[in-house]
Amino acid sequence: MTSEFHVATTGSDTAAGSKDQPFRTINRAAAVAQAGDTVIVHAGEYREWVKPRRGGLSDARRITYQAAEGEHVVIKGSERITGWVQESGTVWRAEVPNSLFGDFNPYAEEVGGDWIVYPEGAAHKHLGDVYLNGLSFYEADSPEAVAAPEARTEVVDNWTRTTDRVRNVEQTKLVWHASVGADTTTIRANFQGADPNAELVEINVRRSVFYPLVPHLDYITVRGFELAQAATPWTPPTADQPGLIGPNWSKGWIIEDNVIHDAKTSAVSIGKEASTGHNYATERGDKPGYQYQLESVFSALQIGWDKEHIGSHVIRRNTIFDCGQNGIVGHLGCVFSTIEDNHIYNIALKREFYGYEIGGIKLHAAIDVEIRHNRIHDCSLGTWLDWQTQGTRISRNVFYNNSRDIFIEVSHGPYLVEHNVFASPAAIELFSQGGAFVSNLIGGTVRVEAVMDRATPYHRPHSTQVAGYAYIRAGDDRWVSNLFVGGDPARAYGPGAEGEAPALPGTSAYDGYPSSFEAYIERIQSQPPGDHQRYLDVVQAVYARGNVYTAGARPFDGETDPLVTATATATVTDEGDGVYLVTDLPPEFDDARLAPVTGRDLERVRFADAEFEERDGTPAIIDVDLLGARKAADGRFTAGPIATLTSGESRTRIW
């Protein structure tokens, strides 16, 4: 027997929870909901941290939380603050009793942990925030700085722009500062002429908006809400990773059709929990974070990190924006998950704090994760897959206007990147090996770099079981039927640091690499006798065929018969809700055609000794283009992500 519970702002938590007698809070419904039940929340604003008490028992016996059909439901981690007193000019002060925060005061909690970076002597930021009519402020370093804030701008690589392109300069001057006392927290804010007692002013109060307190509450669906304004902490892979919303180390959640915004750090978390390590590198200072991250992998295996208990989440059709660190984050807990049809933008553009765990999507150990058909733009980094990217598939996504589109770090593969658009100046960074890039449009640079001082794990195919670990020699990559359209290294990165691998248009970063496995073996055999030493200085093979290089992009010197043309253009433009690819390609583009490839056509990955496969272990099928059209197995198609793309001028809606 399943039940349906209703929640409304006109209800009472002493009521029956029926449609006619609804509960007042979502948490009251969560306290009684059992496997198979549905909680329907009606229109209005709910200021609470929803903490599910139970999970479902299977995919067919879920607990579902959903907004009533056609009704706008907002759940916030903030509270409205009134009673502001004008101090001077445009600066106002509010005295907030600490009882409002309970045992978690975000204005006393710093944004900190492993891999965060503060300049020497810089003031640390806090988890609190202030919002004026929904717009978040910046934290000032002192009460005095609130009175005279400077216009906020950011430097993105080698050009400068306003912090958020859709917001004006005056709005970027909104700043706050908090002083935490024994009984009250004093918040000062510069409202730039607005009256905070007449406008909607909110402050962060709760850490999360929809997040269980305990792990292993499986099979929960969250659908159709607006979720906003949470004081989430910094979420590195070596710490507990709570988000504004997330499953907290469980299996089978579905997070769909929501609007999620204004997490101080991370919006959706499908990451690890604290028992496998919590900022030990920062707290203890005895070992590097890299070592503690290795340990967290084995600690997770000891507590049941496997497909039967963890991961297999679905995150789809959400709009995620205005978050300080990540749109979606996860280490270990993200395995076997699907991230699809999401719109992710304005991530880490305020740049109030910096660290090495930032991106629209930032995943560690993305084993058998599918990231498909997402629109990711105006992010500090579009997608960053770090460690153990294996069995991972990045398909049919649109990346543009990011500082960098995709970065794959210290992973061994196999991973597959197919039918995507990478249109930002810095398109692809590979500090990894074992990848396959098939039928992508790449409008920026490609950077390739070995990592010889960090050995990372690889796994048995489609499993969390560790098969071994190795350093990153770079190479062992496959490039098939991609369309490269220019790319300016200076615009992508500016002047490179000494010794840094260059970012280049095309695949020329691989010049000098062997072009077959046999050629690689010959180089190994020509080395002096020995064991691991003879492998250290030998780059791995790169397999490239059927690629088209235009507008200055240059092929890898081992590629056979690439098509190289002098002129072409490809740009991505926003027009309302639509995104368009505008191209002008030379006539010879039509002559470069290949049949669709499958996993059987892609060379085996060397270190992991694994093939390119679907999750069920069958050879990968790579025959659906960016627009969703299926390529006939007996057909021949031009390079790039759109099967019908032709020479000349064209304009194609891609989102």
Kindly tell me if the per-residue pLDDT of 160 is higher than 80: no
Q: Which of 403, 402, 368, 401 is nearest to 385 (CA)?
A: 368
Residues 6+ apart with CB under 8 A from 65: 26, 29, 30, 38, 39, 41, 50, 52, 210, 220, 221, 222, 223, 225
235/326 Cα distance (integer angstroms): 9
175-180/184-190 β-pairing? antiparallel
Q: Of 253, 154, 268, 249, which is closest to residue 209 (Cα–Cα)?
A: 268
618-643 in b/e burial notation, b at 16+ Cβ within 10 A?
eebebbbbbbeeebeeeeebbbbbbb
* The pLDDT of residue 169 is above 90: no
Where residue 1 falls among pLDDT bands split at 50, 70, 90? confident
> What is the identity of the amino acid at 464?
T
pLDDT of res. 367: 98
Q: Is 64 helix (H, G, I), strand (E, B) or coil?
A: strand
pLDDT of residue 158: 29
For 575-620, what is each residue's pLDDT tens digit?
A: 988 999 999 999 999 999 999 999 999 999 999 999 999 999 999 9
Q: What is the pTM of this model?
A: 0.95
Confidence band, pLDDT 50/70/90 cuts, at residue 443 = very high
What pLDDT is stored for residue 499 in this prediction? 53
Report how far apart, in Å, the C-alpha atoms of 325 and of each of 264, 398, 407 are.
7, 20, 16
The one-character DSSP state at 123 is P
How much is the pLDDT for 159?
28
Percent of the chain with pLDDT over 70: 95
> What sign does the dihedral 325-405-447-637 (CA atoms) show?
positive
Residue 494 confidence class, pLDDT cut points 50, 70, 90: low
Q: What does each C-alpha distance from 261 to 232, 235, 307, 583, 611 come to in angstroms? A: 12, 16, 30, 33, 38
pLDDT value of position 9: 98
Q: What is the mean pLDDT of residues 241-270?
A: 98
Spell out the SS3 assignment of 455-518: EEEEECCCCCCEEEEEEECCECEEEECCEEECCCHHHHHCCCCCCCCCEEEECHHHCCCCCCHH
Q: Which of 316, 341, 339, 319 is nearest to 329 (CA)?
A: 339
- Name, in order, each residue with C-beta under 8 angstroms of 472's C-beta and a sequence gap of 6 or more: 410, 411, 412, 431, 432, 433, 450, 451, 452, 454, 456
Write down the pLDDT at residue 148: 81
Q: Is the pLDDT of residue 161 over 70?
A: no
Pairing of strands 445-448, 426-431: parallel
Q: What's the whole-number average pLDDT of the chain?
A: 94
Mean pLDDT of the region 47-73:
98
Mean predicted confidence (pLDDT) in 40-45: 98
From CA 280, how far away is CA 294, in angstroms rounded?
12
From the list 433, 544, 532, 427, the residue with the least C-alpha distance to 486 is 427
**500 pLDDT tier (thresholds 50, 70, 90):** low
> Would you state the pLDDT for residue 52?
98
* The two three-digit tokens of residue 425, written as one number: 């100046």
Task: Report percent pLDDT > 90 for the chain.
Answer: 92
Average pLDDT over every residue of 25-34: 98
Band the pLDDT of 489: cuts 50, 70, 90: confident
**CATH fold of 79-204, please?**
Immunoglobulin-like (2.60.40)
Nearest CA to 62 among 307, 317, 256?
A: 256
